[in-house]
Structure 1
Amino acid sequence: MSNLLAIDTIYLEPAVAAYPLGREILERFGPARRIEVASHWNIPELHGNAGSVEDWVRIKRSTLVLGVKKGLASRPNGRSAHFIAPSSSNGCAMACAYCYVPRRKGYANPITLFVNTEAIGRAIARHAAGQGPLPAPDQIDDRHWVYDLGENGDLSVDAMASGGVRDLVGLFRGIPNAKASFATKFVNPDLLAYRPEGKTRIRFSLMPERIARVVDVRTSPMPERIAAIDAFVAAGYEVHVNFSPVILYEGWEEDWRALFRALEAGIGPAAKAQLKAEIIFLTHNAALHEVNLRWHPKAEALLWRPDIQETKRSEGGMENLRYRTGWKGRWLSRFKALLAEELPYCGVRYAF
């Protein structure tokens, strides 16, 4: 196991050991200290504990939370996927400075794994059965309803701690009208043995390497992500890329041009023939900005740009910062033109 995880403490809900996956995870991390909690959402040492920000990375490496997923509904999406599936996890061992999950979970958000993946899988299968065939090709997919499995975490990292990801990939092999999808910033070669048979789309997130070294903390290096694409295509995955987040700074266009050229040189004909992209410009958050200043202020020099950003209140009442509307449209047009020039075969599924 890589040094991304060195679990020494597990917080768990009382019911966890009643599930086969729960027992599998507990056995995998047998020496770890176990602390029983009433709810995976209510752990004072982790959630809302301002003092833990100084231990941000240590907590991500050493702490695991296990719970039982209560809500099993699939929600409409219409952007990256048709539906957001009930999540099998929440939080992450990586520490990207712009990640939105800490906004909801407090100052520390290590991986929370849900052990009732069989119930999650049954709920997804029932929902897909109720959809019937995809009426017509759309921006999301040509043939299948697409379910995003990784809204609040990174399944490539989750797979280091649990067999639940393997089971979900296997689930979609048997759902004729649906496909799984998740984004990742971590190359986990174990996934190559999962036999997706074209029914799981993995989206490798990419950005210029020199910026990633500042904001993509504890992730796989960009050359490693690009180098993995051919292997994942050969293993039966549909592989797309997320150009995300696009962060604006002096010289951003030339850095992205270099990334596009590295991608062109780094993948073969089979990958290029099926390659599509999402483009997502940065959204930041005022509360996360304050947290980051206490553990990673260097990142904030890139992320916090009130001179070119505007405030927008989120549906949850949070103060988010996005690039100013009129300017963002022009920058997005420039980005898409640059992509078309360098990678003309890479269609854009979604841009925001």
Structure 2
Amino acid sequence: MVRSPAARMLDIRRIYHEPDVPDLPRGRQVLDRFPDAERVEVAAHQDIPGLYGNPGTVTDWVRNKREVLVLGSKKSLAARPNGRSADFIAPSTANGCAMACNYCYVPRRKGYANPITVFVNTDRIIGYLQRHVARQGPKPAPNQCDPVDWVYDIGENGDCSVDALISDNVADLVSAFAELDGAKASFATKFVNPDLLTYDPRGGTRVRFSLMPHDVSRQLDLRTTPVSQRIAAVNDFVAAGYEVHLNLSPVVVFEGWLDGWRALLREVDDVLDSAAKAQLACEIIMLTHNEALHEVNLQWHPRGEDLLWRPDLQEHKQSHSGQRNLRYRASWKRTWLDRLIAVIDEEAPYLMVRYAF
């Protein structure tokens, strides 16, 4: 018997929820989807004793992602200027993730336990975005985010393809941006959810499939869709009306690292059809790591740290959010980026590098 994507990814057994969640339509939808789950009422979705900020939860790292769900309302709505991958970071309709990538930065923000939190006041969030887009007016000039549209990242702290297994939040966002002139939604994903092919995006949503060489992905991208399946999905998503880009992310440096990227780009070239290639662009994001996350990873998946924890190649740098992270040394990072871009030019010259960091 072949299990559905939702069954393979989620086995929700406990739902923490704010008091008003059962009274809201989206809250009822999610609760009805998991009728056998234990319900635990909490005062606030971001303050759950025993879950967040508890070092002992590392022993249940993957179990919490698979079995725990948090429901609440998004209280503060703001579209933050970005200017890198997107013009704005939209107020999220969810955060956290059921997948378990070793390098993910979201657990550091959530107190390390990182199950999915779904916000059930979706109408309020979408209404805010519609008003925000209207205030922008036409985009005055092309930039690295997009030549025409204002781009809103709707999945900064999670994976929308997985979120769509839980509620209609993502479907509602795709539908809303299909109607918004001069703006498009954007999200990165490592999970192929065929349900998204039934939506009607009409070019209003950009899906960015994250890729890395297969052997690296098997070591670091836990619980994700295999890379070859992500590549194969690009043609289908373009045909369904999405704009589809690639995230070459994160780029991890080790001896022989470029060979894996060359092989991956050849696979992309072999699999993608002409329509997909004609609209293709990519982002390149070099690895960022964190000492505290390194310590957590050592307790549940230490093998991945062989690639991620390289003090001989890394230096400390303060992030824009105030965290002290580890990034590749600036003196080498530019050289490595240039080498990867040269490989792209050789193997997939139609693949425009829209953003590299």
292, 312, 315: which is aligned to 1:287?
292
Aligned mates of 2:29, 2:141 — CA distance in 1 = 41
**2:3: which partner in 1?**
none
**2:184: which partner in 1?**
179
**Which stretches in structure 1 are left out of the alignment for 5+ residues?**
none
**2:86: which partner in 1?**
81
**1:272: which partner in 2?**
277
**1:151: which partner in 2?**
156
Match status 1:115 vs 2:120: yes
Q: Which residue type is aligned with residue 255 of structure 2?
A: E
Contact 1:287-1:319 at 8 Å conserved across structures: no
Instruction: Choose 42-51 or 300-309, whichever is displaced more.
Output: 42-51
**Inter-CA distance 329–121: structure 2 relative to 1 (3 Å threshold):** same
- How far apart are residue 25 of structure 1 and its match? 0.4
208, 227, 230: which is aligned to 2:232?
227
Contact 1:233-1:271 at 8 Å conserved across structures: yes
Contact 1:148-1:182 at 8 Å conserved across structures: yes
Aligned mates of 1:9, 1:197 — CA distance in 2 = 37
Aligned mates of 1:166, 1:137 — CA distance in 2 = 28
Aligned mates of 1:164, 1:242 — CA distance in 2 = 23
250, 256, 263: which is aligned to 1:258?
263
- How far apart are residue 307 of structure 1 and its match? 0.1
Aligned mates of 1:331, 1:313 — CA distance in 2 = 21
SS of residue paired to 2:354:
strand
**Inter-CA distance 82–317: structure 2 relative to 1 (3 Å threshold):** closer
Contact 1:264-1:343 at 8 Å conserved across structures: yes
Aligned mates of 2:162, 2:226 — CA distance in 1 = 14
Q: Which residue type is aligned with residue 156 of structure 1?
A: S
**2:52: which partner in 1?**
47
What are the residue-to-residue correspondences of 1:73-222 with 2, within 5 Å? 73-222=78-227
The ranges of structure 1 where at least 4 consecutive aligned residues each deviate by more than 3 angstroms after the TM superposition are: none
**1:243: which partner in 2?**
248
- How far apart are residue 306 of structure 1 and its match? 0.2
Aligned mates of 2:325, 2:54 — CA distance in 1 = 22
Aligned residues: 352
- How far apart are residue 315 of structure 1 and its match? 4.0
Aligned mates of 1:334, 1:348 — CA distance in 2 = 13
Q: Which residue type is aligned with residue 189 of structure 1?
A: P
Aligned mates of 2:148, 2:326 — CA distance in 1 = 36
- How far apart are residue 106 of structure 1 and its match? 1.4
Aligned mates of 1:294, 1:44 — CA distance in 2 = 21
Aligned mates of 1:316, 1:254 — CA distance in 2 = 34
Q: Which residue type is aligned with residue 264 of structure 1?
A: D
Aligned mates of 1:134, 1:292 — CA distance in 2 = 42
- How far apart are residue 142 of structure 1 and its match? 1.8
Aligned mates of 2:235, 2:289 — CA distance in 1 = 32
Q: Which residue type is aligned with residue 51 of structure 1?
A: G
- How far apart are residue 346 of structure 1 and its match? 0.5
Normalising by structure 1, we get a TM-score of 0.99
Please give the per-residue CA displacement for 1:113-159, whole angstroms capped at 9, x wherever unaligned.
00011000000000000000011222111211000000000000000
SS of residue paired to 1:350:
strand
**Which stretches in structure 2 are left out of the alignment for 5+ residues?**
1-5
- How far apart are residue 45 of structure 1 and its match? 1.8
Match status 1:58 vs 2:63: yes
Percent identity over the alignment is 62
**1:299: which partner in 2?**
304
**2:24: which partner in 1?**
19
Aligned mates of 2:149, 2:155 — CA distance in 1 = 18
Please give the per-residue CA displacement for 1:54-78, whole angstroms capped at 9, x wherever unaligned.
1100110000000100111101000
SS of residue paired to 1:3:
helix
Q: Which residue type is aligned with residue 90 of structure 2?
A: A
Aligned mates of 2:321, 2:249 — CA distance in 1 = 23
Please give the per-residue CA displacement for 1:271-295, whole angstroms capped at 9, x wherever unaligned.
0000000000000001100100000
Contact 1:275-1:346 at 8 Å conserved across structures: yes
- How far apart are residue 3 of structure 1 and its match? 1.3
- How far apart are residue 46 of structure 1 and its match? 1.2
Match status 1:309 vs 2:314: yes
Aligned mates of 2:216, 2:290 — CA distance in 1 = 19
Q: Which residue type is aligned with residue 103 of structure 1?
A: R
Contact 1:180-1:200 at 8 Å conserved across structures: yes
Q: Which residue type is aligned with residue 66 of structure 1?
A: L
Q: Which residue type is aligned with residue 87 of structure 1?
A: S
- How far apart are residue 318 of structure 1 and its match? 2.5
Superposed CA RMSD in Å reads 0.8
- How far apart are residue 19 of structure 1 and its match? 1.3
SS of residue paired to 2:343:
helix
